[in-house]
Amino acid sequence: MKILVTGGAGFIGSHLVDALIEREHDVRVFDELVPQVHGAVDGPPAYLNPEVEFVRGDVQDKAALRKALQDVEVVYHEAAEVGVGQSMYEVTRYVNANTAGTGVLLEILANEPHTVQKLIVASSMSIYGEGAYECPVHWVVHPQLRPDEQLEAREWEVRCPVPVEGSKSKAKGSTFQPSNLPTCNRKLEPIPTSEDKPLFPTSIYAISKMDQELMCLSIGRAYDIPTVALRYFNVYGPRQALSNPYTGVAAIFSSRLLNGNPPLIFEDGQQSRDFVHVSDIVQANLLALERDEANFGVFNVGTGRQTTVLDVAHSLAEGLGVDINPEIVDQYRAGDIRHCYADITRIRETLGFEPQVQFEDGMRDLIDWVRRQESSDLVDQAKAELEQRGLAK
C-alpha cells in the first residue's frame, strides 16, 4: 500500500517506517525536522530508511500536505510537538503544531478528493491525567490533581477524594471534583488504567494530544474513513532525541549520565509509569493497519507493568557503568501525576497485541545505543525555565 507517515523521521515514526518497508509497503515520510529534536540539519537523519520518499514540510502547510497525500491509501499521523513542561509556556507552538496541524490534515480529507482508506493517529496516555486507583472503601475512583497543600507538604501519594459527609456513592469508576467537603483521604492503590477512564489532561501538550485523537475519530466517523487512535504510554528505545530536555524520561536521564551528571528526579522517585519499548509500539501500529477490528477504536499501548522513575535512573546508570546516583530535587512540577499504567485487555483481546520486550531487555537495547551517542545536556536550563514560571516548586 502507499502509506504516508507524518513525523516519520522522528523516534517512533522512523521505527514504524522500517517495519512498513520490511512488509513491502511504499512509504512516504512528511516531517518538518524540528531543530529541538533533530538539531540544525539540512536533510533527514542518517537512521531514516533510504527506501522512503522523504518530503520536508510542516503539517500546518496545507499545500505541502495536500501534495504529500497524493495517491496515499493509509495515513499514520505521528507528527507532534512533544514536551509536557515546555507546552505550559510555549502554548501557541504546541496548539498550532498538534491541534491546528491535525486540523489541516482533516480539512483536506473532509473537503478535497483523496485516496485515503485508513487513518491511524498517535495519541498519548497523558490525556488520562492521573491513572485509575482503588480505595478500600469506595472501590475504583478517578481522582484529578493532588491538592497543592498536599504537594507543598511533600506528601506524594494520591488520597481518596470522595466526600465523606453525606456521600453514599460507591459507584465503580466514580470521578470526583475537588471540593471543600471532608474527604475519605485514604491512601489509594494504583490499578491498571483502561480506555474507559474519564479523560483529564493536565498540560497543554496533553490537551493537544486529546484534540488530535478526538478530531481524527470525529472526522473519520463522519466521512467513513476507518480511523484508529493508539494511546501510547511511556515509549523508550533507540533514536530518542537525547539532546531534547523535554523528551521521554529515559532519554533525559541517559543524556545526563552521558555527560557525567546525575539524573534529576522530582518528588521522591517512586512515581510510576508504564515503559513500553518502541518495537511494541510498532507492533500495535501494524495490527491497527492490518485488522479491521481496530477501525474506529481507541487502544492503550503499553505493557501493563509499573516501573518507578527511580528504577529507570538506576537501571540506566548501572547499564552505562557509571557510578552516579540520581539527585532527588525535593520539588514537584505543576500538573504532574503520580501513577499511571496501562490496562491492555482491549488491544490484547481485539487485535492480538502482546508486549514482546521486557523492561530489562529493552533497557539493555537502549543502553547499547546510548553508548554510541553524544548529547548536549540541557536539563538544568529546562528546569530553570520551569522554576522561573513557578511550574516547579
Q: What pLDDT, on a 0 to 100 scale, did the predictor assign at position 180?
A: 65
Side chain identity, residue 166? G
Q: What pLDDT, on a 0 to 100 scale, did the predictor assign at position 179?
A: 58
Q: What pLDDT, on a 0 to 100 scale, did the predictor assign at position 170?
A: 46
- Whether 5 and 25 have beta carbons less than 8 Å apart is answered as no
> Distance between CA atoms of 178 and 343, rounded to whole angstroms?
26
> Distance between CA atoms of 181 and 108, rounded to whole angstroms?
49
> Distance between CA atoms of 137 and 146, rounded to whole angstroms?
19
Cell of 307: 516501573
Q: What are phi and psi of 237, to 5 degrees?
A: 145, 180
Cell of 60: 500546518
Q: What pLDDT, on a 0 to 100 scale, did the predictor assign at position 248?
A: 87
Q: What pLDDT, on a 0 to 100 scale, did the predictor assign at position 172?
A: 53
Q: What pLDDT, on a 0 to 100 scale, did the predictor assign at position 176?
A: 56
Model confidence over 229-269: pLDDT tens digits?
Answer: 999 999 999 999 998 888 889 999 999 999 999 999 999 99
What SS3 string covers the chain? Answer: CEEEEECCCCHHHHHHHHHHHHCCCEEEEEECCCHHHHCCCCCCCCCCCCCCEEEECCCCCHHHHHHHCCCCCEEEECCCCCCHHHHCCCHHHHHHHHHHHHHHHHHHHHHCCCCCCEEEEEEEHHHHCCCEEEECCCEEEECCCCCHHHHHCCCCCCECCCECCCCCCCCCCEECCCCCCCECCCECEEECECCCCCCCCCCHHHHHHHHHHHHHHHHHHHCCCCEEEEEECEEECCCCCCCCCCCCHHHHHHHHHHCCCCCEECCCCCCEECEEEHHHHHHHHHHHHHCHHHCCCEEEECCCCCEEHHHHHHHHHHHHCCCCCCEECCCCECCCCCEECECCHHHHHHHCCCCCCCHHHHHHHHHHHHCCCCCCCCHHHHHHHHHHCCCEC
> Distance between CA atoms of 74 and 34, rounded to whole angstroms?
24
| Domain segments of the chain as ranges | 2-128+196-238+275-305+342-370, 132-192
Q: What pLDDT, on a 0 to 100 scale, did the predictor assign at position 173?
A: 58
> In which residue ranges of the chain is pLDDT below 70?
165-180
Domain 2-128+196-238+275-305+342-370 falls in which CATH fold?
A: Rossmann fold (3.40.50)
pTM, rounded to two decimals: 0.94
Q: What pLDDT, on a 0 to 100 scale, did the predictor assign at position 214?
A: 98
> Distance between CA atoms of 225 and 216, rounded to whole angstroms?
9
